[in-house]
Amino acid sequence: MESLHKFKFCVMAICLVFQSGYGFYLPGSYPHNYAIGDELSVKVNSITSIDTEMPFSYYSLPFCKPQGGVKDRAENLGELLMGDRIENSPYRFKMFTNESEVFLCQVDKLSDDQFKILKKRIDEMYQVNLILDNLPAIRFTKKDEYFLRWTGYPVGIKIQDVYYLFNHLRFNVLVHKYEETNVARVMGTLFIELFFIMSSIWMGRVYYVFGFLFIVLILLVVVCAEVSLVLTYMHLCVEDWRWWWKSFFASGSVALYIFLYSINYLVFDLKNLSGPVSATLYLGYSLFMVLAIMLVTGSVGFLSSFWFVYYLFSSVKLD
């Protein structure tokens, strides 16, 4: 009874801890809040084409460069495996500040090679991809009372053997505004379950429900311990004393499910991986993570079974 009262007290204490905190945020991973006048910077991704499927760096073309120089802005491993090359750009905005006719820069006269590359990229239907606060820029147009949307915008267009470069851009930034604090937030979605965890690792999507994740972690530890205890007890009942590795793999087998889900995620969600090399790297990193998970969950099962066997036999009194 005393142990039961202690258990109830621990459960109540945990509930009080979760009740007292409305949320837990990891710095740098939650949606950004912007006050009026705060600066918004635009990042550029690789230019892509549905015709060639070969990405190129944004600055492989003679576009305007930032004053402080070009710097990589990739934030996670998934962006590299997807063939993305995210860099800074000279585009700047201020929250709730309308600006028009902003002169960005003037590039030098194009060489023959640069002109040929531009024409080739236009012929191959390459798109420029911009990112604002981890969200892609979308191009809208209306046709026959229908709104059409594309990610990015074309490098240029060819009309009657004449090439035109899209070098005049108009941005319309949509935000969620909170009147009471004059704070705006561009994106913010609650991601749960394994799919969203994988998306945050490989695709840079935001995951910040760490309180819920902590509860799931506790449940995982409890379930792994219970499965190993039940299996060990069943083996002891039939006088099978070789429970060590069985208790380890009984709880560590959850890693097999995660690895199978990683393959499913690769096939159905990571469709834009740039070739078999990226897929091999993805599977390799997934295998390392799965092995680490197996070691952790297997250790939980083994230690739980070890404590159970020790407690069981220490209670036996021999005359």
Question: Tens digit of pLDDT for each residue in 224-235?
Answer: 898 898 888 888
Burial class (CB in 10 A: 0-12, 13-18, 19+), 175: middle
Query: Residue 211: which pLDDT band, with cuts at 50, 70 and 90?
Result: low
What does the pLDDT read at residue 21? 36
Burial class (CB in 10 A: 0-12, 13-18, 19+), 172: exposed
Average pLDDT over residues 69-98: 75
What are the backbone dihedrals phi and psi of residue 315, each rounded to the nearest 5 degrees, phi first?
-85, -10
Distance CA 147, CA 279 (A): 35
- Kindly state the percentage of the chain with pLDDT values over 70: 73
What does the pLDDT read at residue 83? 62
What does the pLDDT read at residue 213? 72
Amino acid of residue 175: V
Give the tokens for residue 294.
Answer: 């197996």
What does the pLDDT read at residue 291? 94
- Mean pLDDT of the chain, nearest integer: 76
Contact between 315 and 307 (Cβ < 8 Å): no
What does the pLDDT read at residue 279? 83
**Which of 48-52, 118-122, 193-197 bottoms out in mean pLDDT, i.e. has the lowest?**
193-197
- pTM to 2 decimals? 0.52
